[in-house]
């Protein structure tokens, strides 16, 4: 007969992703001072489109997009960042990885 392991009643803490530091320029982005900041976190396509449109004229667009694409797709599932939806960011990461693989294979 094998000994049973004692039951553990403590829940395992959730894994906290270690994210790259957010560039300070994002604090002065359009979304930081907009009267409707919820647009950037909305699940509605029309509101995401409005947020993406506002990102186009944001002074932090370049830094924001570079930072958002440096996140892992698993840690980046919601919100408009750098003018892109989460799905668009995932596609951009995959395209970048394909291009890198192609460049290093040549
Ligand atoms: S690019 Fe968009 S998400 Fe990024 S800081 Fe500017 S407004 Fe916000």
Ligand 1 center from residue 102 Cα (angstroms) = 31
Report which protein residue has its CA nearest ligand 1's atom 3: 81
Ligand 1 center from residue 43 Cα (angstroms) = 17
- Domain hosting residue 63, numbered range: 39-105
Count of Cβ atoms closer than 10 Å to residue 40 Cβ: 22
Residues with CB under 6 A from ligand 1: 26, 29-31, 40, 54-55, 58, 60-61, 64, 80-83
Please report the pLDDT score of residue 2 as a whole number: 62
Measure the CA–CA gap between 55 and 32, rounded to whole angstroms: 11
Which residues does the chain have with pLDDT short of 70? 1-3, 5-10, 12-15, 17
Q: Find the DSSP H helices in the chain.
A: 30-33, 45-55, 61-70, 86-105
Please report the pLDDT score of residue 48 as a whole number: 97
In a domain, 68, yes or no: yes
Measure the CA–CA gap between 29 and 58, rounded to whole angstroms: 6
Q: Give the number of domains in the chain.
A: 1
In a domain, 4, yes or no: no
Please report the pLDDT score of residue 69 as a whole number: 95
């Amino acid at each position: 007969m094998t000994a049973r392991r004692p039951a553990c009643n403590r829940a395992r803490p959730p894994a906290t992703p270690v994210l790259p530091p957010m560039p300070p320029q994002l604090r002065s982005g359009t979304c930081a001072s907009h009267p409707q900041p919820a647009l950037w976190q909305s699940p509605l396509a029309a509101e995401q489109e409005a947020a993406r449109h506002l990102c186009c004229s944001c002074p932090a667009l370049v830094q924001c997009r570079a930072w958002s694409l440096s996140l892992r797709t698993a840690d980046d599932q919601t919100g408009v960042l750098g003018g892109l939806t989460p799905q668009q960011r995932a596609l951009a990461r995959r395209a970048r990885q394909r291009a890198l693989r192609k460049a290093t294979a040549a």
